Amino acid sequence: LFNLENDLNSSIIKVFVGDIKDSQRLKSLFKDIDIIFHAAAYKHVPLCEYNPLDAVNTNVLGTQNVIDMAILCDVKKVILISTDKAVHPANVMGATKFLAERLMMAASAYSDDGTKFSCVRFGNVLNSRGSVIPLFKKQLKQGGPITLTDEDMTRFIMNIYQASKLILQAGMLSQGGEIFILKMPAFKLSDLVDAMIEFYAPVYGYNPEEIDVKIIGKRPGEKLYEELMTSDEMLTAYDNGDLFIIRDELNKKHPDFIYNSNEIDHLTKDEILRILSEMEN
């Protein structure tokens, strides 16, 4: 928060410390607030696997606190930042975010014409804190090896600009009860590793051919591929150009495809290299 305040350096932005498990603190902060972007969560899969109760207390019960206090304080809109791991969850983190989404949808149903509740689902955000790219860069800076969980693992990818834009679009478009999903590409983790070795090894003074890749296997709770929508959600998803918007009220139709990171076309290594280059410029 200290770094955030310094980076923003704005007289119109105030930074407060709080805990979403403390409902009274939330109540004091939510007064005269128009919109809440709820991003507070434990988001790392292994951390949640080994600390499930803490994950539930923060990601689930904390979300209910946000909902209750938003309604009490007449906040106009609440947007939950969720994840593709909430779809058919196979780990604690995904399960808690699934429940958080359900709490938001339930709140939308019982808040009548008051506070509107919606969600956005992220894929992997490029170069975000705790993501795989900073880890691989650190390993490359040390000369390797790169630790790869599984060569066949696939993931959805979005950059920080796209993630921010999705949140703001949801804030503008939300009528209550929607889940907003950006149409995003997917990649194989092994292709990302190859591209990063080719791109970064020379930057750090190494020959790409000298960098070893060590297969370490999936970590507890990890899936080989992720999904952005269930088959049932595909029945009610509205195609809004660069977004899918899921609403229960929409007419049902047969899904044209299953939206998981294994089924769609993957980025090539050259495309990943271009993304890495754009990220560094």
CATH code where residue 149 lies: 3.40.50.720
Rounded CA gap, 167 and 158, in Å? 13
The parts of the chain modelled with pLDDT lower than 70 are 248-265
Rounded CA gap, 69 and 30, in Å? 7
Show the tokens assigned to 36: 């809440």
Classify residue 185 as exposed, middle or buried by CB count within 10 Å of its CB (0-12, 13-18, 19+).
Answer: middle
Q: Count the residues in the chain.
A: 281
Nearest to 215 by CA among 187, 186, 195, 193: 193
Q: What is the DSSP letter of 123?
A: -
The H or E element spanning position 78 is strand 77-83
Torsions phi, psi for 177 (to 5 deg):
90, 10
Nearest to 99 by CA among 156, 46, 157, 41: 41
Residue 140: predicted pLDDT: 94
Torsions phi, psi for 242 (to 5 deg):
-90, 5
Residue 253: predicted pLDDT: 41
Number of domains in the chain: 1
Rounded CA gap, 213 and 181, in Å? 33
Residue 204: predicted pLDDT: 93
Domain enclosing residue 160, as ranges: 1-280
Residue 215, helix vs strand vs coil: strand
Residue 248: predicted pLDDT: 60
Share of the chain above pLDDT 90, in %: 59
List, by residue number, the catalytic residues. 85
Residue 194: predicted pLDDT: 93
Residue 251: predicted pLDDT: 34
Rounded CA gap, 78 and 94, in Å? 20
What is the dihedral sign for C-alpha 57, 230, 82, 274?
positive
What is the dihedral sign for C-alpha 17, 19, 23, 24?
negative
Residue 138: predicted pLDDT: 93
Residue 243, helix vs strand vs coil: strand
Asked if residue 52 has a cis previous peptide bond (ω within 30° of 0), the answer is: no
Mention every residue, 6+ apart, whose C-beta is less than 8 A from residue 134: 127
Nearest to 78 by CA among 40, 132, 50, 126: 40
Secondary structure (DSSP) of 9-49: --TT-------TT-HHHHHHHHTT-SEEEE--S---HHHHH
Predicted TM-score of the model (pTM)? 0.83
Show the tokens assigned to 223: 């899936």
Rounded CA gap, 103 and 188, in Å? 33
